[in-house]
Amino acid sequence: MTAERLVVIGGDAAGMSAASQARRLKGPGELEIVAFERGHFSSFSACGIPYWVGGQVAERDELIARTPAEHRARDIDLRMRTEVTEIDLAGGRVRSRELESGRQEWTGYDKLVIATGARPVRPPLPGIDAPGVFGVQTLDDGQALLDALSAAPGRRAVVVGAGYIGVEMAEALLNRGFEVTVVNRGAQPMATLDPDMGALVGAAMDGLGITTVNGTEVTAVLTGADGRARAVLAGDREFPADVVVLGLGVAPGTELARAAGLPLGSSGGLLTDLSMRVRGREEIWAGGDCVEVLDLVSGRERYVPLGTHANKHGQVIGANVGGGYGTFPGVVGTAVSKVCDLEIARTGLREKDAARVGLQFVPVTVESTGRAGYYPGARPMTVKMLAERRTGRLLGVQIVGREGAAKRVDVAAVALTAGMTVEAMTALDLGYAPPFSPVWDPVLIAARKAVAAVRATG
């Protein structure tokens, strides 16, 4: 029996998890694995880049979970700096190009995993490609930014965008001693939260010494006589910048899949079934930041690029490719972040998400603390909860606060997965001791208020 060949496009979390899991299930005599990665690094934590730039993580290599050599030692033929330029579905092969030598070749596959990740959103503005403008998607990006921070003529930084990457980079630049201005199109930071909760983040950022400029779209990066970025133009204002960081989020990196005619969703991500098999294709799987996933609360496909999902996808794909079985049922939309000591968390639907799919809801907001009020270090926490009108089904939770705020959202994530009502949530047996929670956990306080609100709404 000749070994089957698995080809993996993309050497990061989803692709290499899939390859590793498949290898665990099938040895090299049964399954040959060839993986292509166009970058310099495999299996690294993009989510860790802001903390490396900010100085909490000392060395770039700490962000690398597994090096190419480690993958190769496990009989995975990982070809670095080699870009796949075409998928030939009919021929069952991919064309690759070695970036250094320019050498091209075709490689046939029996099974194909597409894990091409995301590309940073980079609007076609004047000056956006000037020296001094940085993305933070790859370790090379991070190194370039770090080098620029050391060499910067002054200490003014402008971050474009106030989503997760934007606020995390604002913290990183603050830690590096920069004066930070965040320019943001929305009316408040964190468009992944409802506006009222985003406004709390904005107020806290101001308190941390970060200047937030909201409701203002960047129209150009202005350059100096040396061609380097010197300011950001937004509305009719110029924001001087010794360094400009783009934090506008990412979009699915599905150019190859699109060119091959594979099915893409409304966000441009690949569409798969629950086994992460690309719809309509027996021999192709896809996972990570290039796919759309089922939102279990709204019942719709969504684009949720996140390392933890990519790793799960990889496990599922590897199990299925390796002759086992696994599914990825979907997400509930959990995301946590922080800016300095402010923790930010969400799960489930925002008000506008619920309205979009025809769900009527009742929103409540409560203030509490992460520890018993009398216990030292008790800090405020705001919990917003959305419940469906009439049924009282939990639809979403957002939390903004200090210590203990972020991971509290996990309780709501599990409750959403289980389809709990807010009434059922009021009886949840959550851990209580004064250093860890008030006698009523903030999530329970919110649930109680939501029960009353659902009843009052009728």
137-166 residues in contact with its own copies (CB under 8 A) are 164
Q: Is 340 a catalytic site residue? A: no
Q: Tell me, what DSSP letter sits at residue 151?
A: H
For residue 430, state whether it binds its own copies (rule: CB under 8 A).
yes
Q: What are the phi and psi torsion angles at 140 (to 5°)? A: -65, -40
Nearer to its own copies, 13 or 19 (CB): 13
Shortest spacing between CB 182 and its own copies, in angstroms: 18
Shortest spacing between CB 422 and its own copies, in angstroms: 13
For residue 367, state whether it binds its own copies (rule: CB under 8 A).
no
Measured N-to-C along each axis, helices 307-321 and 13-25 cross at an angle, to the nearest 10 degrees, of 30
Residue 396, both tokens: 């979403």
For residue 335, state whether it binds its own copies (rule: CB under 8 A).
yes
For residue 434, state whether it binds its own copies (rule: CB under 8 A).
yes
For residue 20, state whether it binds its own copies (rule: CB under 8 A).
no
The C-alpha angle with vertex 41 and arms to 39 and 44, in degrees rounded to 5, equals: 120
Strands laid side by side in the 229-234 sheet: 218-223, 229-234, 237-240
Residue of 51, 214, 300, 380 interacting with its own copies (CB under 8 A): 51
Q: Which residues pair with 94 in a beta bridge?
A: 87, 107
For residue 56, state whether it binds its own copies (rule: CB under 8 A).
yes
Residue 379, both tokens: 């800090």
Select from 366, 372, 378 the least CA-distant residue to 447: 366
For residue 261, state whether it binds its own copies (rule: CB under 8 A).
no
Nearer to its own copies, 73 or 418 (CB): 418
d(CA 344, CA 338): 6
Helix (H) or strand (E) holding 368: strand 361-369
Q: Which residues pair with 76 in a beta bridge?
A: none
Shortest spacing between CB 406 and its own copies, in angstroms: 5
For residue 327, state whether it binds its own copies (rule: CB under 8 A).
yes
Catalytic-role residue among 25, 40, 45, 47: 47
Select from 360, 339, 321 the least CA-distant residue to 109: 321
Shortest spacing between CB 29 and its own copies, in angstroms: 23
Residue of 328, 349, 396, 442 interacting with its own copies (CB under 8 A): 328
Nearer to its own copies, 236 or 429 (CB): 429
Shortest spacing between CB 218 and its own copies, in angstroms: 26
The amino acid at residue 199 is A
Q: What are the phi and psi torsion angles at 413 (to 5°)? A: -65, -40
Whether 47 contacts 346, CB under 8 Å: no
Residue 128, both tokens: 């956006």
d(CA 76, CA 74): 6
The interface mask with its own copies, positions 284-323, x = CB under 8 A, is: ----------------------xxxx-xx--x--------
Residues within the interface to its own copies (CB under 8 A): 13, 45, 47-48, 51, 56-57, 62-63, 164, 306-309, 311-312, 315, 327-338, 343, 345, 347, 372, 374-376, 404, 406-411, 413-415, 417-418, 420, 424, 426-437, 439-441, 448
Active site residues: 47
